[in-house]
Each structure stands twice: as structure tokens, then as C-alpha cells.
Amino acid sequence: MKDFTGRTAFVTGGANGVGIGLVRALLTEGCKVAIADVRQDAIDRALNSLDNREVMGVQLDVSSRADFAAAADEVEARFGPVSIVCNNAGVNLFQPIEESSYDDWDWLLGVNLHGVINGVQTFVPRMVERVKAGTQTGGHVLNTASMAGFLSSGSPGIYNTTKAAVRALSESLRYSLLQYGIGVSVLCPGLVKSVIYASDELRPDALKGAMKPVDAAAVERLQGVHEYGMEPDVIGTRAVEAIKANRLYIFSHPDHKDELREVFDYVLDHYQDYPKDPGFDQRIAFEKFRYDAGAAARKKSLAAE
């Protein structure tokens, strides 16, 4: 998708961090942009900083399917059909899995993974239907994952899990939507200048029952670290450039390339040369069909860039 002018974009988590960077970059390209965020005060501040362009705010808890559908209807009634969807909202808990509760899982899965699923399920069928009807050409879905989707450590365990799932979802969606001319990208940033370190402030009361006490000193340390994160506007600009190029993976931070190569080599080193087991030849013959289909999808995806 090369021409953004006049298109409607919907950005979740759009009032801060990567989200506001995406909003500004899309507005610069001539889009009408809806800022969706759970914090009305943050939406108001964002709107006040965007003084001269077509932009609106909509308060949204991305974990709610009903609220997502209502927000989509509200935006499309005002700005017209959404053809650029940025599923960007995310929260974090900086703790290992063994110290986490079901409430912790439900909160992060609800925002980081189900929020992306809800965005896809809400908007993609509408986009596909308009393409089939000839009323829309192209479109794009950008899902924000993280380098944590590739580079896992002991903490934050749940966050890593959600971001790896978003990465897999995006790659699968990419291949299935190629036939409609709708692009899909997964944004994998590193450290960002944002307030994700203060995610606990957004935690819903219903999921606080098994919540650990907030470590104020740790939050303060994380705030200092995030001050050195990449500026959201830099990420937004790089993401829009990648959408124009229809790239599947968007690596906004160049500082992880060597580490990623080490991780892939580490994974491959775990393969063992086992002897053939019963059924090996038949299984390999079946797997060839899967491999050929995957190779064809990757080739078509690359050709679309």
C-alpha cells in the first residue's frame, strides 16, 4: 500500500509510546486517525498536541470484544471505513512466571494477545468484504509484538509469551490475506521511551485479587531505563516506511541483529541426528506438502514487498 492520503487508520494504545508515534506518522501521510486508548486523560493530552489534523479519540479497553466493535462503528461512522489497523496496545509485568498468578495471566493475555485478536476479528472481515465488493483497494494490519517475541529471558515471562503469540498470529495472517491485497506487518521494537513501566496503574480492579504489591523502587528504576528508549516518532516513521514497502517484519531497532542470529543458531544446534524411525519415509512425504505450501506462501509474501 503506497497511498495513505484520505485513508482511515485505527491505532490502539495510541495515546503514548509507540502508539503516538504511529499516530503522528500516519497523520503526516494524510490519514484520518482514531486514537484508541483505555485512558481518557491520555487521549485528551494526545488530541491537544495534534492541533491541525483529522484525528479523533475513542476510549477503549481492547480486551473487550463488545467495546471493540462499538469503537469500530463509532470511528467508521465519522471517518469512513478503516483500512489501516494498528493493534498496538500493550502492558507489562516485570516478573517471572513462577511468581505470577492467574490474574496476572488474564490481564496480560487480555490486553497483549486478545487485544490483537479482537482488533483482527473486528476489522479484518470488514476489510475483506469491502475488497470483495470492490469498494476498497488494499489495506494493512500492523500488530505490535516486541523483540521479546524472539529474545526471551526469565522475566518478564508472561509478556514474552504474549509477544511470541502475536508474532505467530501476524505471520499466519500475512499469508492468508495476500489473496486480498491486504498487507500484514509485525512490529518488533526494542526499548522505547514510554510509560509501560507503570502498567500497574491500568490494571482492572477485577484482576487485582492475586496482584503482588507494586515495587515503587523497581518502577522508578525502570522509568530511568525507559528514558533512554527510542523516541516514538522515530519508530512511527520507520513503521510507516515498512508498511509502504509491505514488509512482514519491522525491526525498528538495529541493535538486536547479532543477538537474533545467535538465538537462531542456538535453536538449530538443538537438532539431533536420529536414525530413521518406523514411518519416517511416509511422514516425510506428507511433510513435503506442508513445506511446499509454506515455501510458496513465503515466496508470494516476498514478491509482495
Q: Is-above-0.75 flag for pTM?
A: yes
Q: Would you name the residues annotated as active-site residues?
A: 159
pLDDT for 263-298, tens place per residue?
999 999 999 999 999 999 999 999 999 999 999 999
The secondary structure of residue 38, as a DSSP letter, is: S
Neighbours of 53 (CB within 10 A): 14
Q: Which is nearest to 260 in space by CA: 112, 148, 157?
A: 148
Q: Output the CA torsion sign for 166, 167, 172, 177.
A: positive
Residue-averaged pLDDT of the chain: 94
Q: Does position 132 have pLDDT exceeding 70, yes or no?
A: yes
Q: What domains can be seen in the chain, in order of their start residue?
A: 8-268 (3.40.50.720)
Cα 261 to Cα 83, 144, 235, 264, 298: the distances in Å are 34, 21, 22, 5, 20
Does pLDDT of 181 surpass 90?
Answer: yes
Residues in Cβ contact with 263 at an 8 Å cutoff, skipping those fewer than 6 apart: 150, 151
Calculate the CA 125 to chain-centre distance.
18
* pLDDT cut 70: percent of the chain above it: 99
Q: Are 161 and 105 in contact (CB under 8 A)?
A: no
Bin 274: left if φ > 0, else alpha if -120 < ψ < 50, else beta.
Answer: beta
The pLDDT of residue 211 is 84
Task: Give residue 52's pLDDT band: very low, low, confident or very high (50, 70, 90).
Answer: low
- Residue 299 makes CB contacts below 8 A (sequence gap 6+) with none
Q: Residue 238 — pLDDT band, cuts 50, 70, 90?
A: very high
Q: Looking at residues 171-190, what average pLDDT do you find? A: 97
Segment among 1-5, 186-190, 256-260 with least mean pLDDT:
1-5
